[in-house]
Copies of this chain bind each other. A is one copy, B any other.
Amino acid sequence: LEPIIQFELSKEYLDKLNEAIANSDVAFIRETMDGVNPNDITAVLEEFNPDDSKYVIDQLEREVGAEIISSLEEDTRKVFLKKFSNKEVAQFLEYLDSDDAADILNELPLQAKRDTFNHIKNEEKAEHILELLRYDEDSAGGLMAKEFIKANVNWKVKHCIEEIRRQAENVEKVYSVYVVDDRNHLLGTISLKKLLLADDDKKIEAIYNDDVISVITFVEATEVAAIIQKYDLDALPVVNVHGKLVGRITVDDIIDVITESADQERQMMAGIAEDVEEDDSLWVLTRARLPWLIIGMIGGIFGARIIGIFEGDILRLAQIAFFIPLIGATGGNVGIQSSSIIVQSLANKSVFEESTFNRLMKVLGVAIINGVVLGVIVFGISYMVMDSQDFYLAGIVAISLFLVVILASFTGTITPLILDKFDINPAIASGPFITTANDLLGLGIYFSMVHFMYPF
């Protein structure tokens, strides 16, 4: 009993397939892959080298090949498409929706992009792709496809169904039919369900739903995702600044937007500089990780300089060095907590934004409670548990910790807000940069406190 009914992808099959490729056993490849969902074949090909993958794809129908290529990961696809001529790539693109075709074209080097485009024979498709290439990738225009079904508000249901019959050939998922006027202004929608249940002679005008949510081409991808999520939509029509219907965004593209932005946030929080995966090469992985490690290291060197200023104090009382990790770690932890709460807030923007002042007052409240609790605990522990019961040092550690909590809360709150103002992804603030800054801030506070307050 299989929990999921899908293509059986086993190590054994992979071995046999490998053998078939080596022996040019075309019959085996075609037979075993016949009727298999292209997305499952993609999973197989991700395991092969580009040459073998090309060999397999060449044995399949162009349409199946197109779907496979479209569902490959971008990195794999980039390498893979180099194995095909521009003409062959163009043949694949003809089978894809205009938005997927435009995305793939955008991944190609400039010259290959032009040549490939010129090889697209279907003029309507070429025109659609050309239009989509104009839009920013991260805007509604960049997300939309030109494949959708529209009906004139003056048609009758019968005519509309005939038109759908004609148009539907190119549209895999219909969702709704968009209703426009003679000048292509978006007026509303009508569902297939309603068309199916309506009298043939009814006019569309009488039965369509004029309460339609749409976006203009320049709306940002994340905002589009928020709208689709808020209204539980499966597709969203896109209009130009004149209100004319120009495209449609489907929910599957929005899932990709959401997943990608979550991945990006994870990377920023973890201090990884580019989009990498575990199976990338050593070199790519190192390149993604080293920059942030070096920044952290430079922070560490600055830390050494700060502590260096107080070398004399340490030589008199080595115990002050004991609390360096405590101060640093607390500042880092508090900062990440604060910024991640703000990042979440910014991602799910409420209609009525709190003022920055109110936000900070609240942060201050939480920080005071946390700071007092941590300060009291650390005073108790460091006074009682440490070998020498140094009342002064315990007090200074506690007060420093309190101040670090307050300050790290502020920097953790302010930084993502500022980044967001400048249209920079605020998640950077939850990454190692702020942690490092809070580390240094903490060291400065702590050692200054010791230096000026401890009765050496």
Contacts and interface: CB of A to CB of B under 8 A. Distances in A.
Interface of A: 1, 3-6, 9, 11, 14, 35, 37, 39, 43-44, 46-47, 71, 161, 164-165, 168, 173-175, 191-193, 195-197, 211-216, 218-219, 223, 227-232, 234, 241, 251-252, 254-255, 258-259, 262-263, 265-267, 269-272, 276-279, 282, 285-286, 289-290, 292-294, 296-297, 299-301, 303-305, 307-308, 311, 314-315, 318-319, 321-330, 332-334, 336-337, 339-345, 348, 350-352, 354, 359, 362, 365-366, 369-370, 373-374, 377-378, 381-382, 385-387, 401, 405, 430, 432, 435-436, 439-440, 443
Given A337-B292, A340-B272, A300 B329 contact: yes
A293 B333 contact: yes
Copies of this chain, count? 2
Contacts of A14: 352
Contact of A324 (B325, B359, B366, B440): B325
A212 B294 CA distance: 51
A168 to B, nearest CB: 5
A357 B334 CA distance: 36
Closest A-B pairs by Cβ, 4 of them: A300-B326, A303-B325, A270-B340, A262-B262
Nearest to A299: B329
B270 A377 contact: no
B336 A270 contact: yes
Given A251-B252, A278-B344, A307-B322, 9 more contacts: A4-B219, A165-B196, A265-B266, A266-B343, A266-B430, A303-B326, A308-B319, A329-B439, A336-B432
Given A329-B328, A336-B271, A439-B325, A382 B304 contact: yes
A178 to B, nearest CB: 14
Given A6-B213, A333-B292, A340 B443 contact: no
12 contacts: A5-B213, A14-B352, A47-B351, A196-B196, A251-B251, A266-B343, A270-B340, A278-B341, A292-B333, A297-B378, A300-B326, A304-B386
Contact of A326 (B259, B297, B322, B327): B297
A275 to B, nearest CB: 10
Contact of A211 (B35, B196, B297): B35
Nearest to A191: B174
A325 B328 contact: yes
Q: Which of A71, A327, A337 has the most CB of B within 10 A?
A: A337
Contact of A318 (B195, B311, B377): B311
B37 A267 contact: no
B311 A350 contact: no
A83 to B, nearest CB: 22
A168 B192 contact: no
Contacts of A259: 229, 258
Nearest to A283: B369
B241 A1 contact: yes
Nearest to A212: B5
A296 to B, nearest CB: 5
A343 B262 CA distance: 12
B336 A323 contact: no
A270 B426 CA distance: 14
Given A193-B192, A324-B321, A293 B252 contact: no
A337 B271 contact: yes
Contacts of A359: 278
Given A307-B322, A315-B318, A336-B270, A350 B279 contact: yes
